[in-house]
Structure 1
């Protein structure tokens, strides 16, 4: 009887103590990957070259849908233009994806991303892929895209997700499928540099489409943004996650807006946008150094606003801050025109000074001195 009693007692101990511990251990093994530590982030950055690149859209595409849809995905143009970027010493491109092509044809979209990565890799360029974006037109539609509005900056760009999906929680599972499908497909791909979860999430587009925006857009995005980070982390990517802060007070976490604070607290590496004069750029860098994480400026260079290659890029190199300017080739996006073209289209007069972009459509530099500066600072010459 004693042996039977001892056996039953042991079974009870296993049931009450050992099995729960094993279950907890298994569950921990299934937990999503956590935010990188400072050491992990800085070790990753130490393994990278000084990151210099551009926000990339082929000149024959009016927006990210025209870039990625099967009917207008142009490998030859992508290859040609990335070759010009390589010639400047650029080693990264920030490239916007979109949820709608994934929802339409996941396999086809994944194949086109893979083809883009193959072309970029051949030019020694690792892209930062942007998953969602709160800027410009809130009503994206698949199919042929409307032509650019004459004389207007970035007049065809569309948000991801659009306002209809953003306002409808019933569509969030589709957004999760897109995020996890794309990140999961390339989570271990060394050709991908990083994942930019959401571009300017609290941008309300008051100078362009403000009247069409949901009145509670910021609240909707603020609720969704941490979920998107979590969805991406569940796929265990080897690349860092980030979302770039772009406005407001960055002097401390407490001083930041709820959105900016969420972006910083969720990001493995800190990214930011700055179109200010060089003094403003340097001040922002100094503010962000307190986080002790790698810094990458994923948008800068607006000549008419005071942000230029001549003045900003040397500062970025001195602080070892990655620098990704807006625009590579003048094209259907018309980002060589200034932001105020939304209020005053440049139809009859072309601005003397380009706002963004580096090359004409034929590969001729807008300004030879800028090309010399880029090549000198990247060590290409």
Structure 2
């Protein structure tokens, strides 16, 4: 028995020693590999792809002696933008983590000093860059050093003291940049802001008169397919159904629809090509039926944090560039009812994001007017100086409409006004205390249309169909909210005209 125990002890000891030896070798290899695999250490390459995608457009890239290879350009762009992202994160967190990976020894000193100063004073910055325009100055013969000038870097910064926002700053600057190739990665050796050029940039030249003139004749509705409410571009997309709906809309004497693009549904920053194809098909069908389209770029999106600005910028740019020349396009709507996020997301943050997006869309498309879909007339004067026309929604009593409209017209005397959403549900069930009816809905539209005709207000009502189902993501799970939302259409669930239909059909002469 003693010999057996002794043998077992020797075997277990041998196996244990081998396990410890293998574990030690593995740990040593892992340590020695640190720095060689930046992705495994920091996970920043993947993170940068997901959270930071500013526009980068090269200018002159001529270089005597050695042209820069396409692969090198790609690696340089990735590491250069990664350096900006790491710096932004470092200043927000007051943490040195990641800086070593994107900056050389000498370049880190200034960053560390700034972080230490911020920590001492209780300050931190939240910032991003939206656009870079580098021009190559020098690329070394051995391929280990690059010097370029990054012109007109668009920057946005929020400066905080502890939890108090001190100020916001929007800026454009030019930088002289030197990067060195170390361990297979480009690191910033030198990043110096150059002296400001005092000459003002020429304003963007736009030509929107033709489309602005068309706004006066808008008679339309907000559109979703009956069997796919709030999911126009989903799995139930049906070209024939859309064609028939658009033909019906045209027969009613209407000439405009408003459609909605949901940020996540379209792929976020990396917009899905198949979604763009469905959007283009929708535009084609609208054009075939003589219908103009107002495209709402963001719906069901509520994160206006500056750290995500480059992502929303990429999303909007992809959509705008894809259809900006389409003959059915009438106008862009930046965001559906952003004022509903004022309390939860902070008004100044929402407005700053809208301001940025207005400028970008106007840069990408200089022909079509741009607006914002405010949820009520009282807030619709916000950013009125930036939009091409003012859009507002109204779901209150029709007899109060004239007063609300007059208040908005007084606040915004020199811009076109469009009633972008309005309507009344005909739901008459228990969740509405049996007070609704098709008669009430018809009377509502009779009164509203009279007011709109009198003041010649362009309009888009809500909406074409009653719906069988309302997604929980739209109004939540409360049954009275879902039931009420189902009956805003002027066609019932079987596609038959309701009583309000006669007040929303217009002869060709009108």
Superposed counterparts of 1:226-241, under 5 Å: 226-241=355-370
Aligned to 1:107: 273
Which residue does the alignment assign to 1:328?
464
Task: Find the counterpart in structure 2 of residue 92 from structure 1.
Answer: 256
Q: Which secondary structure state, in structure 2, belongs to the residue aligned with residue 330 of structure 1?
A: coil
The 1-side partners of 2:255 and 2:399 are apart by 26
Counterpart contact for 1:244–1:263, Cα < 8 Å:
no
Given that residues 470 and 486 in structure 2 are in contact (C-alpha distance below 8 angstroms), is that contact kept between their aligned partners in structure 1? no
Q: Which residue of 2 aligns with 1:282?
A: 402
Describe the SS at the equivalent of 1:371. Answer: helix
How much has 1:117 moved relative to structure 2? 0.7
For residues 52-201 of structure 1, the aligned pairs below 5 Å read 52-63=219-230, 66-69=231-234, 71-100=235-264, 101-103=266-268, 105-133=271-299, 159-160=300-301, 162-163=302-303, 166-167=304-305, 169-201=306-338
Which residue does 1:6 correspond to in 2? none
Higher gyration radius (CA): 2
Alignment partners' CA distance in 1, 2:478 and 2:445: 27
CA contact (8 A) 1:183 1:237 kept: no
In 2 relative to 1, CA 184–262 (structure 1 residues): closer, same or farther, beyond 3 Å?
A: farther
Q: Distance in 1 between matches of 2:313 and 2:365?
A: 15
Contact kept in structure 1, 2:377 and 2:405, CA below 8 Å: no
Alignment of 1:324-363 (within 5 A): 324-332=460-468, 334=470, 343-345=478-480, 355-363=487-495
* Bigger relative contact order (CA 8 A; separation at least 6): 1
Aligned to 2:352: 223
Pick the aligned partner of 2:387 from 259, 267, 275: 267
CA deviations 1:32-76 (Å, max 9, x no partner) are: 457x8xxx66x644345621111111111142xx3213x332212
Shift of 1:274: 0.9
- 1:300-319 matches, within 5 Å, as 300-303=422-425, 308-319=444-455
The Cα shift of 1:280 comes to: 1.8
Q: 2:504 maps to what in 1?
A: 374
Q: Distance in 2 between matches of 1:278 and 1:216?
A: 31
* Counterparts in 2 of 1:321 and 1:378: CA distance versus 1, 3 Å: farther
Change (3 A) 1:230 1:214: same
Shift of 1:94: 1.0
Tell me, which stretches of 5 or more residues in structure 1 are unaligned?
1-21, 134-158, 205-212, 250-255
Q: Find the aligned partners of 2:424 and 2:295 in 1 and give their Cα distance.
A: 22
Matched residue count: 293
Q: CA deviation at 1:128?
A: 0.8
| Counterpart-to-counterpart distance in 1, 2:363 and 2:242 | 31
Once the 2 structures are TM-superposed, how far is the Cα of residue 365 of structure 1 from its aligned partner?
Answer: 0.9
The answer for the alignment partner of 2:34 in structure 1 is none
8 Å CA contact retained: 1:197, 1:243: yes
Q: Deviations over 1:280-308 (max 9, x none)?
A: 22222222334222221011111559882
User: 1:225-264 CA deviation, whole Å, 9 max, x = no partner?
Assistant: 1111111111033111001333374xxxxxx5xxx44332
Aligned in 2, Cα 1:188/1:24: closer, same or farther, shift over 3 Å? farther
State TM-score, norm by structure 1. Answer: 0.67
Please give the alpha-carbon distance, in whole angstroms, between the structure 2 residues aligned to 1:287 and 1:358: 29
Choose which of 245, 261, 267 in structure 1 pairs with 2:374: 245
Find the aligned partners of 1:378 and 1:277 in 2 and give their Cα distance: 27
- Report the structure, 1 or 2, having the larger strand content: 2
Contact 1:313 1:323 in 2 (8 A): no
Aligned partner of residue 293 in structure 2, secondary structure: strand
Please name the residue that 1:297 is paired with.
419
**3-state SS of 2:259 partner:** strand
TM-score using structure 2 length: 0.51
Partner of 2:374, secondary structure, is coil
Q: Which residue of the partner structure matches residue 364 of structure 1? A: 496
Gap change, CA 1:333 and 1:129, over 3 Å in 2: farther
Alpha-carbon RMSD across the aligned residues, in angstroms, is: 3.4
